Amino acid sequence: MYPRHALAKPPLRLPRDFYARSTLIVARTLIGMHLVHLDAGVRRVGRIVETEAYLGPKDLAAHSSRGKTPRNAVMFGPPGHAYVYFIYGFWNCVNVVTREAGVPQAVLLRALEPVENLDEKTWGPGLLCRAMNIDRALNGADLCANRLWIERPHEAKPRVRVTRATRIGVEYSGEWAKRLWRFFAADSPYVSTASQTARARALKQSADH
């Protein structure tokens, strides 16, 4: 008879205290984790390969830089919730709220590597939301609950080589645009800035399997 603790598996779903930390640490550590959406009985899963950190309210690229509004209220906490916003009249984008309540910071999920039930493009924040069927109905969703969450993958993966770069599309924020607050898996063809050649090769290999 094995002792009970030897049989128990460690919890895979990320706990609240994972998110209640430095936003930069969360943004980097999310690389390689799995985003899961239980969508009307369909489990959609993508491996996170690209993130961006937003450190409001001082960070002028953050939605919270001009204070609390009905749109960005979820950013002000508590941590471990999804902040989903709508842009350009077409795209939804999903963020992970970090830090303690009252500190309006979050991590934007920019790209996923398809794992389960993802048939559309996933390289870009709007594309990944469309593929995962994430929209404003999930704004404020508790990432420690049973509809939308992030978990450590069951299978062992090689160590991810994480690279840093400037964020995309935030040139208006002046000096803040120069911060190396975008993190991505250096070897993933699903990163939004990957070459079309590398991405086409990966898609072909996926289709062949």
Per residue in 181-200, pLDDT tens?
A: 999 999 999 999 988 887 78
* Residue ranges of domains in the chain: 9-208
Going by their DSSP bridges, the two strands 105-116 and 148-151 should be labelled as unpaired
At CB < 8 A and 24+ separation, what contacts does 199-208 make? 199/123, 206/114
Mean pLDDT to the nearest integer, 3-17: 66
Q: What is the pLDDT of residue 36?
A: 98
CA–CA dist 91, 116 (Å, integer): 22
9-208 homologous superfamily: Methylpurine-DNA glycosylase (MPG) (3.10.300.10)
Q: Flag whether pLDDT at 7 surpasses 70.
A: no
Residue 206 pLDDT class (50, 70, 90 cuts): low
Entry pTM: 0.91
Q: Flag whether pLDDT at 11 surpasses 80.
A: no
Angle at 150 between CA 148 and CA 155, to 5 degrees: 130
When the pLDDT of each residue in the chain is averaged and rounded to a whole number, the result is 92
Mean pLDDT to the nearest integer, 77-84: 97
Residue 155 pLDDT class (50, 70, 90 cuts): confident
